[in-house]
Chain A
Amino acid sequence: MARVVVDVMPKPEILDPQGQAVAKALPRLGFAGVSDVRQGKRFELEVDDSVDDETLAKIAEGFLANPVIEEWTVRRVQA
């Protein structure tokens, strides 16, 4: 068994209203110096060793992310 982390983020050129809402709120709360925020999703998958990288990429590309507007990264971490 291994833990796989998939991070899904809006593509840089795609509008991210969520991130913008947070970025605009920070100065109002008195936190200065944060120029941009982007909000994404993190998935943690417990997978058998038999699942290869290609399959993980398919899961990320075809299901967890919407490749039209989001990009993703997959990494294996120690369970």
Chain B
Amino acid sequence: MSIPTVTADTVEHALSTPDTKQPYAELGLKDDEYQRIRDILGRRPTDAELAMYSVMWSEHCSYKSSKVHLRYFGETTTEEMRAKMLAGIGENAGVIDIGDGWAVTFKAESHNHPSYVEPHQGAATGVGGIVRDILAMGARPLAVQDSIRFGPADADDTKRVLPGVVSGVGGYGNCLGLPNIGGEVVFDRTYAGNPLVNALCVGAMRIEDLHLAHATGVGNKIILFGARTGLDGIGGVSVLASETFSESTGRKKLPSVQVGDPFTEKVLIECCLELFHAGLVVGIQDLGGAGLSCATSELASAGDGGMRIVLDRVPLRAKGMTPAEVLSSESQERMCAVVTPDNVEAFLAVCAKWDVTATEIGEVTDGENLVITWHDETVVDVPPRTVAHDGPVYQRPVRRPSTQDDLVADTSAMLERPAGPAELRETLLHMVSSPNLASRRWVTEQYDRFVRGGTVLAQPADSGMIRIDEETGRGVSVSTDCNSRYVALDPYVGAQLALAEAYRNVVVGGASPLAVTDCLNFGSPEDPGVMWQFREALHGLADGCRELGIPVIGGNVSFYNQTGTTAILPTPLVGVLGVIDDVRRRIPTGFGAELGETLLLLGDTRDEFDGSEWAHVVHGHLGGKPPKVDLARERLLGEILIAGSRDGMLSAAHDLSEGGLAQAVVEAALAGESGCRIVLPEGADPFVWLFSESAGRALVAVPRSEELRFTEMCSARQLPWVRIGVVDKESDAVEIQDVATLGLAELRSAWEGTLPALFD
């Protein structure tokens, strides 16, 4: 069998043909960016170099529009906040010290556009990518979460996209053996045509096992291992192939879709962990977006020398690939390691045991450049930093949109509110069964939450909690949140509300917040109004983190989320990670764990309906100002809940957020299959008390024996509390005095019926 050899555009050839026209514009490079590459190299780039620069200087890889703003995270992180941080922004994922010698790493990443094109594979490879990021830190991946957003629940395209995304997230994560412990499913018309798929992974390691992506040590070998390299995800770069080689290879323009193979990734995880454990790895990098272009240039620029890569050694899956294609391929399930020469044999033996393909493709040199050869000819010779880190930086125009004033002025005050018990009852059932508040069971039942045997809390709990140490019971919990309607109304406050909610979801489980990650999904950075939303949200988040004393240790920016000129609602997803010294003292959500529980509502309830779920569901309205945010209060609430957990004073707790008290009561009653009696305070407006979305509140169930001790602690610490009812295990109804009595069966069918009716 003869494979046609592909003639490559070599450095020598580039020097002798300086005037060759190159398709840089099709590759997304601007005139001045192309000129800068020529200036850096002192000649025109080869096809392979052009492919590397264009993909590494893209918005996705270079953060060129966000870089100037992202610095603010560093500026607002104090030394005290850094104390437990072992790795931060700039590494594959941030790492935090959780005590007892354990380090935990977590990160979220978007895979939005691919999930619109091919929902199942797009979502699946999103999970695969974030899991490899965690693995590349030296950690064992332990759990995943997914925050997914779609157009209207009843839209035809949502019926195409949502089931595919859910089966992709589930299919990949289940096959990897990672429990899915939570997340979000949100519907809004702005996500039609641009769904959001943000996947998060948590991993843990002993502190001494932390690995960073550094290619140090002259003579050390570069080993590529995992799947073979094919024509996946090189739609963009195929323009080079079609221009130069289409006649010889007959290659048509390729789709940008990647197909995932979770089985290969599962084996790769076990193989990597065995390699780490045996001390056979100096540095490691996963191959994700931009493939080998990214891995080689990042490893080399983080090291202390140059690097030589023999590109024709890369095991290929497709015939006739060009060097540019090999460098740009986004084939999944691949890793790149730096290994000392005396460990290469042992390294390859571990790979052989796991039947993982591994190939030595190059070495660290004492030069300064990243030099890549193809059949003995040099096709790339570049300073690696210029590819990986010295990309263009834009100071994009930032302007508050002229429409913002009108949006803020259009409050919910004029909306008609339900009057009287019958209308309140109807509103409650309507809300509980609305797509954003209804049970996520249809989705979460497709995810394995039991595997690994360490899941202590999972959906529908407020946060996902896993045990890290089986001896001591030390564990972590994670919650990701964002109410993008609040962010649209006020990006600064909205981002702080997202942070506050994620923080609250962690503390209601009994864990202490330690660190933050984010996934900032916005429209086009070329729109000054979008950049204003971005800057405001980022500042709100950074300032909020400083106030709460927890650092942002990693994140991801996704721009260009829009359909035509309509941007998505700004969606700065915030993930908070907390630690709990013994998962046995976690606080569950459901009522009825103890005989005789009093229900307390902690925090202040105000008349706050702008941007609320009620305004959205009942009136299709969005306008006004988001609820007041008070981070000092959130912190106090957290301290009280953690103390309550530590001293065994709480038998259940549930965060109040979208849908307010009514939603929280219904969910906690159904989770515990236990009825309750709610008595609102004297003179309270039942509509406001049941549906307001004031922040900084939680519903707790306190065993009667602990009631006095707990309320005295709240009063002493000046946390407002009010007794709003009792749990009644014998009852099969939620009774709201003077308003309505709703049977648990009726509530369950309203709450659980919605998604199956839409998607089965």
- Residues of chain A touching chain B, judged by Cβ–Cβ distance below 8 Å, are 10, 12-17, 20-21, 24, 66, 68-69
Kindly identify, within residues 300 to 356 of chain B, every residue whose CB is under 8 Å from any CB belonging to chain A.
317-318, 331-332, 355
Residue pair A15, B331 in contact (C-beta under 8 Å): yes
Residue in A13, A16, A21, A69 whose CB lies within 8 Å of B121: A69
Complex Cα gap A15–B263 (Å): 13
Once A21-B263, A69-B257 are accepted as A-B contacts, the answer to whether A15 and B118 lie under 8 Å apart by CB is: no
The dominant DSSP class at the B interface is loop
CA distance A15 to B254 in the complex (A): 13
- Interface residue? B407 (CB, 8 A): no
Min CB–CB distance A66 → chain B (angstroms): 7
On whether the beta carbons of A15 and B261 are closer than 8 Å, the reply is yes
Give chain B nearest CB distance to A11 CB in angstroms.
8
Asked whether, in the complex, the Cβ of B257 is within 8 Å of the Cβ of A14, the reply is yes
Q: Are B259 and A69 in contact, CB atoms less than 8 angstroms apart?
A: yes
- Indicate whether B255 reaches chain A with its CB closer than 8 angstroms: yes
CB-nearest residue of chain A relative to B355?
A: A24
Which residue of chain B has the shortest Cβ distance to A17 in the bound complex? B261
Q: Does B117 contact A (CB under 8 A)?
A: yes
Instruction: Decide if B232 is an interface residue (CB 8 Å cutoff).
Output: yes
B257 CB to nearest A CB, Å: 5
Asked whether, in the complex, the Cβ of B231 is within 8 Å of the Cβ of A13, the reply is yes
Partner of B118, one of A12, A24, A68: A68
Contact code string B226-265 (vs A, CB < 8 Å = 1, else 0) = 0100111000000000000000000000110111110110
Q: Are B232 and A14 in contact (CB under 8 A)?
A: yes
17 examples of A-B residue contacts, CB within 8 angstroms: A10-B259, A13-B231, A13-B232, A13-B254, A13-B318, A15-B227, A15-B232, A15-B260, A15-B261, A15-B331, A15-B332, A17-B261, A21-B263, A24-B355, A68-B255, A69-B118, A69-B257
Besides A15-B230, A66-B118, 12 new A-B residue pairs in contact (Cβ under 8 A), listed by A number: A12-B318, A13-B230, A13-B231, A14-B257, A15-B260, A15-B317, A24-B355, A68-B255, A69-B118, A69-B121, A69-B257, A69-B259
Interface residues of B in 259-282 (CB under 8 A from A): 259-261, 263-264
Residue of A nearest to B164 (CB): A66
The 7 closest A-B pairs by CB, nearest first: A17-B261, A13-B231, A15-B259, A68-B118, A68-B257, A14-B259, A13-B318
Highest count of chain B CB atoms <10 Å: which of A13, A24, A69: A13
- Please name all residues of chain B whose beta carbon is closer than 8 Å to the beta carbon of A10 when the two chains form the complex: 259
From residue B358, how far is it (CB to closest CB) to chain A in Å? 15
Residues of B within 8 A of A17 (CB): 259, 261, 263-264
What are the residues of chain B within 8 A of A69 when measuring CB–CB?
Answer: 118, 121, 255, 257, 259
Q: Which residue of B lies closest to A11 (CB)?
A: B255
Q: Which B residue's beta carbon lies closest to that of A21?
A: B263
Contacts of A14 in B (CB 8 A): 232, 257, 259
Query: Count of B residues near A, CB < 8 Å?
Result: 21
- Taking CB atoms, residues of chain B closer than 8 Å to A68 are 117-118, 255, 257
Which A residues lie within 8 Å of B332 (CB)? Answer: 15
Query: Which residues of chain B come closer than 8 Å to A24, judged between CB atoms?
Result: 355
Distance, CA A17 to CA B267, complexed state (A): 13
Tell me which residues across on chain A come within 8 A of B331, comparing CB atoms. Answer: 15
A66 contact set on B, CB distance < 8 A: 118
Using Cβ atoms and an 8 Å threshold, which residues of chain A touch B259?
10, 14-17, 69
List chain B residues, Cβ under 8 A from A20.
261
The distance in angstroms between the C-alpha atoms of A21 and B263, with both chains bound, is 10
Taking the closest CB of chain B, its distance from the CB of A68, in whole angstroms, is 5
A4 smallest CB distance to B (angstroms): 25
Cα–Cα, bound, A17→B263 (Å): 8
List chain A residues, Cβ under 8 A from B231: 13
Query: How many whole Å from B280's CB to the nearest CB in chain A?
Result: 25
Complex Cα gap A66–B259 (Å): 13
Most buried by A among B257, B260, B318: B257
Name which of B118, B227, B259, B264 has the most chain A CB atoms within 10 A of its CB. B259
Kindly provide the distance from the CB of B482 to the nearest chain A CB, expressed in whole angstroms. Answer: 29
- Residues of A close to B261: CB separation below 8 A: 15, 17, 20
CB-CB under 8 A from B118, the residues of chain A are 66, 68-69
Which residues of the other chain, B, contact A13 by a CB distance below 8 angstroms? Answer: 230-232, 254, 318
What residues of chain A lie closer than 8 Å to B264, measured between beta carbons? 17
Return the chain A residue nearest B264 by Cβ.
A17
Residues of A within 8 A of B263 (CB): 17, 21
Q: Shortest Cβ distance from A30 into chain B, in angstroms?
A: 17
- Whole-angstrom distance between the alpha carbons of A20 and B227 in the complex? 11
Look across to chain A and name the residue whose beta carbon is closest to the beta carbon of B252: A13
A17 to B124, CA, bound (A): 14
* Closest residue on chain A to residue B331 by CB atoms: A15
Nearest Cβ distance between residue B705 and chain A, in whole angstroms? 57
